[in-house]
Amino acid sequence: MSEQPPGWTLDPDRALPAEPGVRALAREIYAATSRLPIVSMHGHVEVDLLVQDSAFENPAELFVIPDHYLVRMLVSQGESPADLGIPTHDGTPFETDPREIWRRFCRNWKLFRGTPTRYWLEHELAVVFGAPVPPSEEAADELYDFLLDTLSREEFRPRALLDAFNVELLATTDSAASTLTGHRKLAETDGRQRVLPTFRPDDLLHIRRPGWAADIRELSEVSGIEAGDFDSFLAALRGRRAAFLQAGARATDHGHLSADTTPLDPADAREIYAAGLRGEASPAQADAFAGGMLFEMARMSAEDGLVMQLHPGVLRNHHRGIRTRYGTDQGFDIPVRVEFTRALQPLLNSFGMDPAFRMVVFTTDETVYSRELAPLAGAYPGLRLGAPWWFLDSPEQMRRFRESAVETAGFYNTSGFVDDTRALASIPARHDLARRIDAGFLARLVAEGKLGLDEAVETGADLAYHLPLQSYAPRS
């Protein structure tokens, strides 16, 4: 990583508590965690980015266009996605001049005050790329030219960055039908499995989704098992899980609207699956199938040892017009209230005490930490409470997560930080921020006489490094 030029230096104590006594303790804890390797067990970097290892094209392509946190904030204040370079699906013209896109972002820098996007971008620009000044209308062109030049250098190619960031493990997220060619190639080049696929079968489990039948056909092809009925569907899924395991996968990932895990009677499952293939499944059948399949996924996890990640409670594509014009993942996925205590009961009754099973649960609804998830994770050995993520991966929320969850679940039933990012360059920024917030939380425990400093330092290292490794360790 570049040395910071004199023009723009970030506060070395940023995101640590303000009170001087607590800050001094936090500094000490952070010093013991800040240089630990990064174990990134849940993310959305594309493996092909690393396989191809091409230079990033320009600042707009790297920082603006793919970042829906950033784009939605500009949209919320009246910018149009098209003017920010988001490609349209309906023929509407969109901005293709990256400098123009960059200028639009820079003159709106003020909007990011108080947001984690600002925090991450400052870290990326100043620490990772050594930018001389923060974004502003005046500095937009200077910054653009500086970054354009920097991005063209060898040491800022994707794989070089991964080394510079000290990334020990990086999990990607991959459809169940993925051939995993990229992961295999990368493992050969690297001489080790450092970039691991994650098995995400969501598309296959929602039988009324447009395109479901086509996805089933793709599954059949890739798995070599014709998924013509429910039992062969399960067999095909088992086959793909085995292939993922062989390519180094440690986990599955499930993003459902609800957390329902009620098992289906096999006869009902077969009938619903057949109805799905005929395009005749009802919404109620589709919901029951999705819940029943979560139960089946848990059963398979208990068999093959893949850690099961679940994150329910987000209503996707809230605005239909945005979806139609720009596609999915445009910042219009909005959380809804979600219930876990009853929803997870079937699954936890069957697998929650099984030493071969592990589940990590994420939420975008912070109210469930103290009420539901911490009590569950503080009782079931099969359940770990996932890190605060998406909407909640910010300083205040990460602090509140610890304040809400640790007293009931303890530190050691939480999963360790996951960055959940598609932006390679933001990985160190996100882990660094989490380490600072945890250092601050631990420092307060020390200052309030609840923990020894030696214990806090050890716990800090556990949270930053050992817990993610251990939470996602193969289950035998």
* Residue list 66-105, contact with its own copies (CB under 8 A): 72-73, 75-78
Site for its own copies contains 20 (CB under 8 A): yes
Residue 465, C-beta contacts closer than 8 angstroms, at least 6 positions apart: 33, 36, 37, 39, 416
Among 445, 457, 464, 467, binds its own copies (CB under 8 A): 445
Site for its own copies contains 353 (CB under 8 A): yes
Site for its own copies contains 372 (CB under 8 A): yes
Site for its own copies contains 184 (CB under 8 A): no
Among 107, 185, 189, 411, binds its own copies (CB under 8 A): 411
Residues 287-326, one symbol each (x = binds its own copies by CB under 8 A, - = not), give ----------------------------x--xxxxx----
Q: How far apart are CA 56 and CA 61, in angstroms?
A: 7
Site for its own copies contains 356 (CB under 8 A): no
Query: Which residue number, 279 or 355, has a Cβ lying nearer to its own copies?
Result: 355
Residues binding its own copies: what is the number (CB under 8 A)?
91
Q: Which of the ranges 164-172, 258-266, 285-293, 345-353 carries the binding residues for its own copies, by CB under 8 A?
A: 345-353
Among 13, 142, 226, 268, binds its own copies (CB under 8 A): 13
Site for its own copies contains 349 (CB under 8 A): yes
Minimum CB separation of residue 462 from its own copies in Å reads 9
Site for its own copies contains 29 (CB under 8 A): no
Minimum CB separation of residue 302 from its own copies in Å reads 15
Among 278, 284, 449, 476, binds its own copies (CB under 8 A): 449
Site for its own copies contains 438 (CB under 8 A): no
Minimum CB separation of residue 115 from its own copies in Å reads 5
Site for its own copies contains 466 (CB under 8 A): no
Among 395, 428, 460, 468, binds its own copies (CB under 8 A): 395
Other beta carbons within 10 Å of 198:
23
Minimum CB separation of residue 305 from its own copies in Å reads 15
Site for its own copies contains 8 (CB under 8 A): no
Site for its own copies contains 450 (CB under 8 A): yes
Site for its own copies contains 336 (CB under 8 A): yes
Among 113, 154, 454, 476, binds its own copies (CB under 8 A): 113
Burial of 224 per CB tally in 10 Å (0-12, 13-18, 19+): exposed
